Amino acid sequence: MIKLANRLRGNVFLRYVAVSVGALATDMILFLLLLEMGMPGTAASAVGYSVGIFAHWILSSRKVFHDRVSEKGTAARTQQKAMFLASALIGLVLTIAVVGAGTAMGMDARIAKVAAIATSFLLTYLLRNVVIFRQATTQ
Taking residues 34-60, what's their average pLDDT?
Answer: 90
How many helical (H) and strand (E) elements, i.e. helices and strands, does the chain have? 5, 0
Q: With a threshold of 0.85, does the pTM exceed it?
A: no
Read off the pLDDT of residues 83-102 as tens digits, 9 standing for 90 and up.
999 998 998 899 889 999 99
> Nearest-CA neighbor of 87 among 31, 126, 30?
126
**From residue 119, how far is each of 34, 53, 90, 95 by CA, in Å?**
22, 15, 11, 8
